[in-house]
């Protein structure tokens, strides 16, 4: 099997996405890039340089359903007849029926003003222009095997960045295709999502993300293909660095709370005062993810008033 990393442009500050081309029957593409003409042309030309036309793709595996990773899946499926695979917890976001109702409820609980929720919803509609619904999807669960002519790769469920995020692991090569669970120079953002098993609750993204890193450690990969940027060769050092960053952010959360009681929205404004409107959702996502972790570890107290959450720090002994 030949493995090619393709760098596909995106309109986002994170820059290009890494798409992985696995050249062995059935030819498989891991992630696709966003639904833009620039991304489509880049994918076609880079695959052509590898001696493979778009029409030869037989499987498209999506690590998760974000626009920069899944945007071109429908177009490539229509062109090649490839089967599109995704974890069940990501499938709804790829369907035409996806709506924002559950998010509105979660955002209101966090104290987000109605006008800001409306702005977030408008931003979500603009982002949906970068991804086309996929009419037919095949599902991949943790532990499933993707079989090729001479080898196979195992599906690893790595929830955190999104609930249904997956990676692919080759036992023989000790190689991991990690998507956005591992990013060398960027801390993966635990994005706010409804819990797939109970849409009235939010998914405990940061806690599950850290558990995913611990699980990947047990695989002992010698190299990790990331969703953006360069490969990670020393996964254990990477995991330690992420843990250190989380501890720093937890201290910052407690310091920003001080002796006050704040909503997650109010706290996010303190932690990320320079964030632009289009960055506010990610800033809020990181804030509530860290609050949820702090709550689970007994570092903060949560109160509910009129359906809105408030948090205060527990004084250090």
| 231 in a structural domain | yes
Assess whether pLDDT exceeds 70 at residue 70. Answer: yes
The pLDDT of residue 79 is above 80 = yes
Question: What is the band of 315 on the pLDDT scale with cuts at 50, 70, 90?
Answer: confident
* Structural domain containing residue 93: 2-98+134-240
Task: State the pairing for strand pair 83-86/138-139.
Answer: parallel
Domain count, the chain: 1
Contacts within 8 Å (CB) and 24+ apart, 262-266: 262/310, 262/311, 262/312, 263/110, 263/111, 263/308, 263/309, 263/310, 263/311, 264/110, 264/111, 264/288, 264/291, 264/309, 264/311, 265/110, 265/111, 265/112, 265/113, 265/116, 266/111
Report helix angle 205-219 to 280-296, nearest 10.
Answer: 80
Rounded CA-CA distance 71/86 in Å is 13
pLDDT at 80 over 90: yes
162: Cα within 13 Å, side-chain hemisphere? 22
Q: CB under 8 Å to 220, separation ≥6 — which residues? A: 174, 235
Please indicate, yes or no, if residue 81 is contained in any of the structural domains. Answer: yes
What pLDDT score does 18 carry?
98
Give tens-digit pLDDT for 184-226: 888 778 999 999 999 889 999 999 999 999 999 999 999 999 9
For 281-307, the pLDDT digits (tens) are: 999 999 999 999 999 999 999 999 999
* 290 in a structural domain: no
157 class by beta-carbon count within 10 Å (0-12 exposed, 13-18 middle, 19+ buried): buried
End-to-end CA distance of the chain: 57
Q: What is the pLDDT of residue 93?
A: 87
Q: Specify if 29 maps to a domain.
A: yes
* Structural domain contains residue 180: yes
- Contacts of 244-249 with CB under 8 Å at 24 or more apart are 245/187, 246/206, 246/210, 246/290, 246/293, 249/286, 249/290
CATH number of the domain within which 22 lies = 3.60.15.10
Local confidence band at 277 (pLDDT 50, 70, 90 cut-offs): confident
24 found inside a domain? yes
Tokens linked to 40: 């489509």
Of 135, 201, 139, 160, the residue nearest 66 (C-alpha): 160
Residue 50 exposure: Cα atoms within 13 Å on the Cβ side: 24
Higher pLDDT, 100 or 291: 291
CA distances from 135 to 16, 22, 90, 172 (A): 26, 24, 14, 34
* pLDDT of 275 higher than 80: yes
In a domain, 310, yes or no: no
**pLDDT per position as a tens digit, 6-34:** 999 999 989 999 999 999 999 999 999 99
CB atoms within 10 A of CB 79: 15
Query: Which residues, at least 6 apart from 138, have a Cβ–Cβ distance to it below 8 Å?
Result: 83, 84, 85, 86
Query: Are the CB atoms for 59 and 146 separated by under 8 Å?
Result: yes
CB 32 within 8 A of CB 72: yes
- In angstroms, rounded to a whole number, what is the distance separating the alpha carbons of residues 8 and 112? 34
In the structure encoding, which two tokens stand for residue 28, read together?
């498989």
Residue 189 counted as domain residue: yes
- The confidence score (pLDDT) of residue 180 equals 97
* pLDDT for res 317: 64
Average pLDDT score over residue span 137-166: 98
């Amino acid at each position: 099997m030949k493995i090619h990393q393709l760098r596909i442009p995106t309109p986002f500050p994170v820059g290009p996405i890494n798409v992985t081309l696995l050249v062995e029957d059935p030819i498989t593409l891991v992630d696709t890039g966003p639904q833009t003409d620039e991304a489509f042309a880049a994918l076609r030309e880079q695959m052509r340089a590898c001696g493979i036309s778009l029409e030869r793709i037989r499987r498209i595996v999506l690590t998760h359903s974000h626009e920069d990773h899944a945007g071109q899946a429908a177009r490539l499926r229509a062109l090649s007849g490839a089967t599109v695979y995704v974890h069940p917890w990501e499938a709804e976001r790829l369907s035409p029926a996806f709506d924002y109702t559950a998010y509105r409820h979660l955002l209101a609980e966090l104290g987000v003003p109605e006008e800001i929720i409306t702005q977030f919803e408008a931003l979500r509609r603009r982002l949906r222009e970068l991804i086309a619904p996929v009419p037919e999807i095949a599902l991949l669960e943790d532990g499933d095997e993707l079989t090729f002519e001479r080898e196979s790769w195992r599906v690893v469920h790595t929830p955190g960045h999104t609930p249904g995020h997956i990676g692919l692991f080759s036992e023989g090569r000790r190689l991991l295709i990690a998507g956005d669970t591992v990013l060398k120079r960027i801390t993966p953002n635990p994005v706010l999502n409804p819990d797939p098993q109970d849409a009235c609750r939010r998914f405990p993204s940061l806690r599950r993300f850290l558990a995913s890193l611990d699980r990947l450690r047990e695989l002992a990969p010698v190299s990790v293909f990331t969703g953006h940027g360069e490969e990670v060769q020393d996964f254990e050092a990477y995991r330690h660095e992420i843990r250190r960053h989380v501890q720093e952010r937890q201290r910052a959360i407690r310091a920003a709370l001080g002796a006050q009681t704040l909503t997650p929205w109010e706290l996010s404004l303190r932690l990320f005062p320079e964030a632009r409107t289009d960055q506010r959702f990610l800033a809020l996502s990181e804030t509530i993810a860290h609050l949820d972790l702090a709550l689970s570890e007994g570092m903060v107290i949560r109160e509910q008033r009129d359906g809105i959450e408030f948090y205060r720090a527990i004084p250090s002994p």
